[in-house]
């Protein structure tokens, strides 16, 4: 393999690059790693040494429900974002670049708009007397307003909206990299649109979809603002639970335990992604 021959050179470059990242690493160690470790330590040290916090966390149906809610909402948000994001990314990729630039501007502007403002906007839209309910009732589709906010439905809608760019941007990049001649070749080989989509286009976009989906899933697992504002008190998500332990109950032990569970899940998914994407780039072009 050619990479074996090039190895010493790559190693030198890597060493040099590592040196230049030292200040950043030190900063991270001081202000991120140390606090995280101290928080995790408190989860096994408070109120006394032992795993009692984990036993309580994983043994109680209330807390398990929070975990379930979190994974459920994250999974639904990921799937819905993919379903909506793929056609959008595809359209963007084949659209004349002038129009694509406008759509991108809208996408990025919404990403840069304050998160709280965007979430409150969804509250206005989704509430009982909000735009959506009023419109549906005005059209006679429903008699009573739908409960679209202060529950997991509201959380899912709000988070899907926030996560969409994180799916669309990597997918757009992947689709743009596909040579249109490959799709022309598929057409001449006799593949109809559906076959070209399922046998060529979708398999080629798997790396982009995997990257986007994992990013959205992992971000959703620890998301706080949107669940806190659009969710109800009865259906909490994990980040809200951690905040409650630390801020209201001042129970650092339980907060740390919940944070560790979240961290382990996130890191596991990240490892899976690394493995997966690594395989893809080896087999791809």
Partner 1 sequence: MTTPFLKIEGIRKEYGPVVAVQDVNLEVERGEFLTFLGPSGSGKSTTLYILAGFDNPTRGDIKLNGKSLLATPSQKRNIGMVFQRYTLFPHLSVGDNIAFPLKVRRLPKHQIDAKVKDMLRLVRLEGFEDRKPAQMSGGQQQRVALARALAYDPPVLLMDEPLSALDKKLREEIQHEIRRIHQQTEVTILYVTHDQEEALRLSDRIAVFSKGVIDQIGTGPELYANPATRFVAQFIGDSDFLPCQMLNTANSRATVSVGGSVFSDVPLHEAGKPEGAALMLRPERLSLTREPLQQSLAATVSDITFLGNNVHVATSTKSGDPLSVRLPFGHPAISGLSRGDSVWIGFDAASAHVFN
**Contact positions vs partner 1 (CB under 8 A):** 179, 181-182, 184-192, 195, 199-200, 203-204, 206, 283-285
Of 206 and 277, the one with the shorter C-beta distance to partner 1 is 206
Instruction: Tell me the closest approach of the beta carbon of residue 206 to partner 1, in angstroms.
Output: 8
Please list, residue by residue across 134-163, b when 16 or more beta carbons sit within 10 angstroms of its beta carbon and e when fewer do.
eeeeeeeeeeebeebbbebbbbbbbbbbbb
Of 193 and 275, the one with the shorter C-beta distance to partner 1 is 193
Instruction: Tell me the closest approach of the beta carbon of residue 186 to partner 1, in angstroms.
Output: 7
Of 200 and 258, the one with the shorter C-beta distance to partner 1 is 200
Of 67 and 86, the one with the shorter C-beta distance to partner 1 is 86
Instruction: Tell me the closest approach of the beta carbon of residue 75 to partner 1, in angstroms.
Output: 26
Instruction: Tell me the closest approach of the beta carbon of residue 92 to partner 1, in angstroms.
Output: 22
258, 242 contact by CB (below 8 A)? yes
HSE at residue 22, side-chain half, CA atoms within 13 A, is 4
* Rounded Cα gap, residues 51 and 55, in angstroms: 6
Of 204 and 237, the one with the shorter C-beta distance to partner 1 is 204
Of 71 and 276, the one with the shorter C-beta distance to partner 1 is 276
Of 206 and 219, the one with the shorter C-beta distance to partner 1 is 206
Instruction: Tell me the closest approach of the beta carbon of residue 282 to partner 1, in angstroms.
Output: 9
Instruction: Tell me the closest approach of the beta carbon of residue 105 to partner 1, in angstroms.
Output: 27
Of 149 and 204, the one with the shorter C-beta distance to partner 1 is 204
Instruction: Tell me the closest approach of the beta carbon of residue 185 to partner 1, in angstroms.
Output: 4
* Rounded Cα gap, residues 150 and 229, in angstroms: 8
Instruction: Tell me the closest approach of the beta carbon of residue 95 to partner 1, in angstroms.
Output: 18
């Amino acid at each position: 393999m050619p990479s074996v021959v090039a190895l010493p050179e790559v190693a030198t470059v890597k060493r040099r690059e590592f040196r230049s990242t030292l200040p950043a690493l030190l900063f991270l160690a001081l202000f991120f790693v140390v606090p995280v470790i101290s928080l995790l330590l408190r989860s096994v040290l408070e109120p006394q040494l032992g795993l009692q916090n984990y036993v309580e966390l994983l043994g109680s149906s209330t807390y398990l429900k929070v975990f379930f809610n979190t994974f459920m909402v994250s999974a639904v948000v990921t799937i819905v974002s993919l379903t909506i994001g793929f056609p959008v990314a595809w359209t963007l990729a084949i659209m004349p670049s002038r129009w694509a630039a406008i759509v991108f501007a809208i996408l990025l502007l919404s990403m840069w708009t304050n998160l709280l403002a965007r979430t409150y906007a969804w509250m206005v839209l989704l509430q009982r007397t909000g735009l959506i309910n009023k419109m549906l009732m005005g059209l006679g589709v429903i008699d009573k307003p739908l409960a679209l906010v202060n529950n997991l439905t509201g959380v899912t809608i709000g988070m899907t909206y926030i996560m969409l760019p994180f799916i669309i941007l990597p997918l757009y990049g992947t689709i743009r990299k596909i040579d249109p001649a490959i799709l022309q070749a598929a057409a001449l080989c006799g593949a109809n649109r559906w076959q070209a989509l399922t046998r060529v286009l979708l398999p080629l976009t798997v790396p982009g979809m995997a990257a986007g989906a994992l990013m959205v899933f992992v971000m959703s697992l620890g998301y706080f603002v949107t669940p806190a504002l659009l969710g109800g008190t009865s259906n909490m998500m994990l980040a809200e639970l951690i905040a409650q332990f630390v801020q209201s109950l001042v129970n650092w032990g339980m907060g740390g335990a919940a944070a560790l569970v979240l961290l382990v899940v996130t890191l596991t998914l990240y490892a899976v992604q690394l493995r997966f994407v690594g395989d893809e780039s080896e087999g791809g072009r």
